[in-house]
Amino acid sequence: MAENDDGNAVFLSVAQVAARLNVSKMTIYRMVHTGEMPAVLIGHTYRVRETALALYLEHGLIAAKAACPVITGSGPFRGGLRGKDTV
């Protein structure tokens, strides 16, 4: 788990998460409200654990590898089809 120097968990603001993912804050709020991005409400502000963001990204990478043959190394772009078999 990502921790600061004091050994406490690191929390990111919605703006920080949005900047890291290069999306709008509204997208992050939507993800929080649908449960796609786990967050805690501190006062009137949502915060996302840095480890939750890392897990979200890892899950997305795994899903992308399963859906995209280029990433997994199979298919026509990674030495699959040759010669007359190409599309």
* Cα distance between residue 77 and residue 67, in whole Å: 14
Q: In this structure, what token pair is assigned to residue 41?
A: 């409400």
Q: At 70, which helix (H) or strand (E)?
A: helix 69-72
Q: What is the pLDDT of residue 1?
A: 46
Q: What is the pLDDT of residue 58?
A: 87
Instruction: For 2-30, write each residue's pLDDT tens digit.
Output: 666 667 889 999 999 999 999 999 999 99
Instruction: For 35-85, write each residue's pLDDT tens digit.
Output: 999 999 999 999 999 999 999 998 876 666 676 665 555 545 455 445 555
Q: What is the pLDDT of residue 47?
A: 97
